[in-house]
A = this chain, B = another copy of it.
Amino acid sequence: MTMANDATPVASRASVSESNRSRILQHLYHNGISSRAQIAKALDLTPAAITKITARLIEAGVIEETGDIEGSKNRRSIGLKLDTTRFHIIGIKFARSLVQIGVFDLCGNALGLENLPTVYDDTIDDTVAIIHRRVSELLADDPSIVAVGMAVPGPYLRNEGRTAVVSGMQGWRKINFIDEFSSAFRVPVFIEQDARSGALAHYLFDPAVHTEENLAYYLIGEGVGLGVIENGRLINGFLGAATEIGHISIDVNGRPCDCGNVGCLERYCSTPAIHDMLIDDGDVVRGAADMTHADAARALFVKAREGDERARDTVRRIGRYVGYGCLTIFNGFNPRNIIIGDIVAEAGPLLLDEVRRTVDERSIPEINDTTSITLSTLSADAAVSGAAAVAVTQFLERPSMFFDVS
């Protein structure tokens, strides 16, 4: 089976019948058990079309009939159901130094999760070999697994299958994800930039926001990224390199970045940038120089929570830069929700307060009044569940890739 690396929620060239199949699946996914009449009404399809399409979906084992449900005018009618626990998805998240693999149901509930050994530039090949082995084992153990989703650092060139020439990702850059994984398994593999995967995770799995058609997931970790869902669709750009907020400059006279630009946001609030701050000012977190970026940042957040004033000042300083990024998101993408996630979100309310203060000072009032900024409330597995969300999106959008339904 070939890999589809286009994770746009609606494939523009899908046939009309595939599109209707997908709309029915999505309706059942988002609304739960529904009668044929309810689906026909919601989707503006004829009863005949619904009957035909659902018959094929039932025959192929994608959906099933349930007992009678309450219909309109108190008539009883048969319900249709997409059992979201019946199909499983492997999600794999690639970060600079950490690869995580999880197995999820279609609603993003983790059935299993593991961290691979820390990745160094010279152990990339070993890590790739482990991924091949573990995925093959998982697939052999669990016949319910129907797809693999991967979340990779951006800018990810979707047609080429690799990350663009950018800071920090030297190691992973040599891996062509499409060549490496597309035909490796019995199930299809889908790849998306990590922050976009996070946006899909919130869109699909987060009860607080999943009905929102305009949301942004603002990933602040080893890198800084952004995924934006506009009117229910991801913004990708021509190569897949849009919404790369980590490389949008906040200061054209500022710090140089390996990407070639100057003053990239990533140079001010990613964990490597935070680590630099802590090494420069050795008294805030003792021994920071010997820690990983993530551990140093986490040590800072713990001290700040304990009330250490210098640690709290440092977190506020970081929050100010995260806030500058929010202002760029306001004026660039004007989403309804901005959800901040990944390691730096662990700084918690102290960070969020400073973000909001910065935004209150500098934003256009009408936008500020209508945009919520929150910290991700998906569990710690959110980042990995995003990788699964990439594949769930495809499952819902392109059923014919997974089942013989035509």
In the bound complex, what is the Cα–Cα distance between A12 and B364 (angstroms)? 28
Residue A155 lies at the interface, judged by CB distance under 8 Å to chain B: yes
A121 interfacial by beta-carbon distance below 8 Å: no
Cβ contacts under 8 Å, A328 to chain B: 248-249, 332
A235 & B241 in contact (Cβ 8 Å cutoff): no
- Which listed residue, B157, B231, B263, touches A366 by the CB 8 Å rule? B157
> Closest residue of chain B to A247, judged by CB?
B331
A252 within 8 Å of B by Cβ? yes
Query: Of B16, B165, B245, B250, which is within 8 A of A252 by CB?
Result: B250
Supposing A235-B333, A249-B324, A328-B249 touch, asked if A259 and B164 sit within 8 A by C-beta, the answer is no
Query: Is A367 part of the binding interface, using a Cβ–Cβ cutoff of 8 Å?
Result: yes
Q: Which of B237, B238, B336, B367 contacts A155 (CB 8 A)?
A: B367
Q: Does A270 contact B (CB under 8 A)?
A: no
**In the complex, A214 has a CB within 8 A of chain B:** yes
25 chain-A/chain-B pairs, Cβ below 8 angstroms = A16-B44, A16-B45, A214-B238, A230-B235, A231-B233, A237-B335, A238-B335, A238-B336, A238-B371, A239-B367, A241-B334, A241-B364, A247-B331, A247-B364, A248-B248, A248-B328, A249-B324, A250-B251, A251-B252, A251-B253, A260-B362, A260-B365, A261-B327, A261-B363, A332-B332
Q: Hey, what's the 0/1 contact readout for A325-367 against B, CB within 8 Å counting as 1?
A: 0011011111110000000000000000000000001111111
Q: Determine the chain B residues whose CB is within 8 A of the CB of A260 once the complex forms.
A: 361-365
- Residues of chain B lying within 8 A (CB to CB) of residue A241: 330-331, 334, 364, 366-367
